[in-house]
Amino acid sequence: MKLYSPIYYQIKQALSVITLPVLIYVPFSASAAEHNHQIQTEFSLETGLEYDSKLTIVELDQLKDESDTAVKLAAKAKLNWQPTDKLAGKVSYSYSDKAYQTYDEFDLSIQQLSGELGYDFSVAKLGAYYVLADAELADKSFLSLEQTSVFASKLINNRHYLRAAVNFSEKELDDFAGRNSDGTGYSLDYFLFLNQAKSYWSAGVWKDEQDAQLNEFDYQENGLKGAFSHGFSAVGFEQNLQLGIHYLTRDYQYVTPLIGETRNDSRRILKASWKINFNDYLGLKTQLEQASYQSNLASADYNEQLASVHLIATF
């Protein structure tokens, strides 16, 4: 599951503060108190198509210079629990499946189980987040990922939101034990909420260090990200527009035998998405993504474009 690969990136998108976009509930009115001390559930189903200009297994540094279209299915169940005004928790389970029309060796399914518990000490909210994810590639067990995060967050004047986290991860690939790794990361995110929290600007930085079983796969990574999300009403429907950018550099710590030198990567990812809600339950989302991967390893040096359209039902 590459950090910014078809697999690892999808899992990272569920990992709390280090992803884009991050959805945060902000209580702008006293009516939020009416929902305290309750258990709330949410279920969603999603189906659609995704076009990918390059087929990759970046976890293995494999690249197929072909394009394909995949049918995507996803389901998610989430439970929020707030027993007191200051203590809150949530658990969620999700399943996603991507089946390509031509190159089924890139078919991918991911299961994720996550949980979060936080306590508001007034000065700041402190909490912990855990996720367990398993991926199958071409119907074969491929990769598992565990991540535990400890975070501190603060909402100021219902407008400014800060969150800092320390992340500990463990990655295992079933048939490629040399790439198994333990990681330690740090992240800091800032959000500026507008339009009664329907819109926001965000910026973030992170650092990640991976210690693999084979030294050639050890690396240090530094990243920046930014996003703008705008919610609005038009032609009688609630809609949302999002723009985002990720940029990272990754420096490997030892010589890569395949190229006879130390490997260095950089990655830039631009995203744009638009969603329209037809009613409280049904919506349509389209997304475009352009990625530039640069590396002195040939199979990790390429450009990629993705386009998708999804129908989403929420209950």
* Residues sharing a CB contact under 8 Å with residue 206, sequence separation 6 or more, in sequence order: 18, 185, 186, 187, 188, 221, 222, 223, 225
Domains of the chain, CATH where assigned: 8-25+56-72+121-314 (2.40.160)
Q: Of 36 and 132, which is predicted with more confidence?
A: 132
Cβ contact 267:294 at 8 Å = yes
What pLDDT, on the 0 to 100 scale, is given for residue 17?
A: 35
Which tens digits make up the pLDDT trace of 161-198? 999 999 999 999 998 999 999 999 999 999 999 998 99
What pLDDT, on the 0 to 100 scale, is given for residue 1?
A: 36
Residue 53 — φ and ψ, nearest 5°?
Answer: -80, -20
Which tens digits make up the pLDDT trace of 31-76? 334 445 689 999 999 999 999 999 998 888 889 999 999 999 999 9
Q: How far is CA 106 from the centre of its chain?
A: 20
The rounded distance, in Å, linking the Cα atoms of 61 and 84 is 48
Per DSSP, the three-state class of 252 is strand
pLDDT confidence of 2, banded at 50, 70, 90?
Answer: very low
232-242: average pLDDT: 96
pLDDT at 247 exceeding the cut of 50 = yes
Q: Tokens 């475009």 belong to which residue?
A: 288
Query: DSSP string of 279-309?
Result: SSSEEEEEEEEEEEEEESSGGG-EEEEEEEE
What pLDDT, on the 0 to 100 scale, is given for residue 309?
A: 98
pLDDT at 100 exceeding the cut of 80 = yes
What pLDDT, on the 0 to 100 scale, is given for residue 61?
A: 87
What pLDDT, on the 0 to 100 scale, is given for residue 37?
A: 62
pLDDT at 8 exceeding the cut of 70 = no
Cβ contact 56:65 at 8 Å = no
Which tens digits make up the pLDDT trace of 30-43? 333 444 568 999 99
The rounded distance, in Å, linking the Cα atoms of 236 and 104 is 41
pLDDT at 20 exceeding the cut of 80 = no
What pLDDT, on the 0 to 100 scale, is given for residue 38?
A: 84
